[in-house]
Structure 1
Amino acid sequence: MSNPWIAIGALAVVGLAIPISMMVVSSILRPSVPEQGKRATYESGEVPTGSSRQIRFNIQYYMVALLFVIFDIETVLIFPWTVIYRDAVTEPSVGMMAVLLPMVVFIGVLVVGLGWAWRNGAVRWVRSPRATKGADTYE
């Protein structure tokens, strides 16, 4: 009679021991050559100028990324549903509405969320002040 928790514990120990041992071995074997250039802060090979507090990032990048993640997860959840849907078509005892209704509700919630994001301007790209200034002259 073996306990399944022993296997889970052993897997957890191995899962922690391997990365920790790799980090310890690499810190022992790697050469240590401290130089001023290695300690300098840079971004993509460019030396930063000014303070990081002065740089303003456009929030639209993050909004588009979040919307992408949400709809990417939606597609991942739809794939298993298609297998269930296929089984419902071949087996009449399951019923078509029992399988179809939850997915319609799920997609409906996502459509409402996309509509809300669209209405609040989350998917509209912010125009540059120069483009906005040029548009004002034509009105």
Structure 2
Amino acid sequence: MTTTTAPASQQAAAFQRLRSHLAYLRLTAAAEALPGVLDAARDEHLPVLDALEKLLGIEADATAARKLASRLHFAALPAPWTLDDYDFSAQPGADEALIRELATLRFVGEAANVVLIGPPGVGKVVLAEPVRVVTCGFVAC
């Protein structure tokens, strides 16, 4: 059995149609990645399904990143704090292991509440903000 390759003009037209379809469907990351994915598929002799999986994986990752950015934007957090920004040595009463455990959001799955109590100026908000940032990427079932 012999296989023939379509002429370059037909391939170019098909490529443009595919990019148009991706743009129409608003799959912008996939549209931008298409040339690279097709080149890699050709160079690495990837099966069509593997190339499609790679292309759609790029789009899925971009969509997840956009959703997280949107959640962070609408959360209107006062500053982009992370737990690494907090100086645990300055507040010896803050249990670093416990705070890092809270950042795993395990308490959400257990339907538990968390309350930070302390006098003004000890860093309650500084500790709460990174946990809030992490929760912006959390989707409840």
Query: TM-score normalized by structure 2?
Result: 0.28
Q: TM-score, normalised by structure 1?
A: 0.28
Structure number with bigger Rg: 1
Greater RCO, CA 8 A, separation 6+? 2
